[in-house]
Structure 1
């Protein structure tokens, strides 16, 4: 997967254990404070700086995270792949914030669809406080977006969507340092691995195959926009999902915490998904299963 860094020997193990223990109990602020102190005491220890970089990512301190990446690549050449993978991702995060603030427009992957522009325009209405207009635009977009059948980890579905009402038939993806809205109808395969690092709680590395036959490696934001500022560390650590303007509201639900994908069968937390097959790719899997 992109930017994986193989850790060297066990230097500063006690400090890293302390950070790990604080994260286990869900105290992100104390973990960050411990990491900052550890870097001050062990300035040349690459592992301590990687921990600090990842904690800055969890707290949404993007510029501080970038500074740690620059220091790391100058300290140890083996961290350059991590720098090359995650520095563009950090810049995508800042662009993404502007999109959900109604200040920028996302890039649309694949052949342009009118409903994508309509869905994006709803964020501008949200930012202006015109909730009814935003909901009307989303309703138009959702009605126009075609359903995509397939399977999640072998469980079939007739349609799939992001559970967040601002997104629905599109998936947020970072590709080659750019922020995209990718309609599910353009996706054939998504494969992910089990989370290994703290940064996976912020961005899920994924392998994609597109319906046009192409493929790519990129990242799916693990958390919903604004989660980095949440008061509940369980949200920031992707341990739960919370909804604003949800079941008891007439407005589209907005998520905080870990992303959920919804189908006509169930809801799936992103970190638990290993494989999504859509359209023809799902049919091939089903046919192979029937033959075996």
Structure 2
């Protein structure tokens, strides 16, 4: 008896799961559930175009599944916008005017795209004291119910940034101190390991359901080669220039003195000093 795409996926055999899922769809082209499964595995494998094609087909052939397919297509489009931001120069969306720290990190990303790692390192290091001093002086957070005085991504480029996808296909950079509260929902489907659903409340912004990218984009290429990294089951660190560290695989945060994997994140609530 052959293994199913889901058992292959759970075993960490991403490429085999993708091949098996594709074969099942070819045998059962009218099965929307199989097309959703193929779309989810395709996204994790980095083939966003295939995922969008599957959802377009579902929308056209199954009215009962059209709403779910429409949401999935918007998340795929948000992920495409994310990759265009990292690798092609697209500017992310913001809530209000981005603060000086965020602007410097956006310039650092541009320098990385242009191959100027020295300039990127200078921009990131130039704002480090501003980032930590201002954040610690002005804001504390409860993270998973524990009070912390510092909250950042462990990837130096993304340190002051929470990446957010919306159900309208937008990709945002949110500063940590813009967050009033966030409740992260437990994963239910394979795609939830790629984009974690959360209820987010933002200062001077809308409240609602969002989707948080949980896996870093590879510093050197849009799709990581290692299956464990693509699945978000491990994290690897790459020192790019002058001790600037970039992440691959599952995202990780620094909450106070604790390293926190993105799958361990349950809630954030801002506490005013």
Q: CA deviation at 1:214?
A: 3.9
Given that 1:102 and 1:126 are in contact with CA atoms closer than 8 Å, whether structure 2 keeps it comes out as: no
Match of 1:153 in 2: 144
How many residue pairs are counted as aligned between the two chains?
A: 265
Which one of 23, 45, 53 corresponds to residue 59 of structure 1? 45
Q: CA deviation at 1:21?
A: 1.8
**Structure 2: distance between partners of 1:222 and 1:77:** 30
Change (3 A) 1:124 1:261: same
**Structure 2: distance between partners of 1:169 and 1:112:** 11
**Structure 1: distance between partners of 2:57 and 2:88:** 33
- Asked if 1:271 is matched to 2:263, the reply is yes
Match of 2:227 in 1: 233
Q: Judging by fraction of residues, say which structure has more strand.
A: 2
Task: Return structure 1 stretches of 4+ with deviation > 4 angstroms.
Answer: none
Given that 1:131 and 1:251 are in contact with CA atoms closer than 8 Å, whether structure 2 keeps it comes out as: no
Which one of 240, 247, 261 corresponds to residue 253 of structure 2? 261
**Partner SS for 2:215:** coil
**Structure 1: distance between partners of 2:205 and 2:94:** 18
Given that 2:55 and 2:70 are in contact with CA atoms closer than 8 Å, whether structure 1 keeps it comes out as: no
- Asked if 1:84 is matched to 2:76, the reply is no
**Partner SS for 1:229:** coil
- Asked if 1:179 is matched to 2:171, the reply is yes
CA RMSD of aligned residues (A): 2.0
**Partner SS for 2:33:** helix
Match of 1:109 in 2: 95
Change (3 A) 1:214 1:21: closer
Which one of 242, 248, 264 corresponds to residue 250 of structure 1? 242
Q: Please list every run of 5 or more consecutive structure 1 residues that lacks an aligned counterpart in the other structure.
A: 1-13, 284-292
Change (3 A) 1:48 1:228: farther
Match of 2:35 in 1: 49
Match of 2:24 in 1: 38
Q: Please list every run of 5 or more consecutive structure 2 residues that lacks an aligned counterpart in the other structure.
A: none
Match of 2:14 in 1: 28
Relative to the length of structure 1, the TM-score reads: 0.84
Q: Deviations over 1:16-73 (max 9, x none)?
A: x611221122111110110111111111112211111111111111111000001112
Change (3 A) 1:95 1:130: same
Given that 2:101 and 2:160 are in contact with CA atoms closer than 8 Å, whether structure 1 keeps it comes out as: no
Larger mean CA deviation between 207-216 and 233-242 belongs to 207-216
**Structure 2: distance between partners of 1:22 and 1:152:** 34
Q: Deviations over 1:154-199 (max 9, x none)?
A: 1221010011111111111113321111001110111111111111
Relative to the length of structure 2, the TM-score reads: 0.90
**Structure 2: distance between partners of 1:109 and 1:206:** 17
Given that 1:59 and 1:228 are in contact with CA atoms closer than 8 Å, whether structure 2 keeps it comes out as: no
**Partner SS for 2:210:** strand
Given that 1:108 and 1:116 are in contact with CA atoms closer than 8 Å, whether structure 2 keeps it comes out as: no
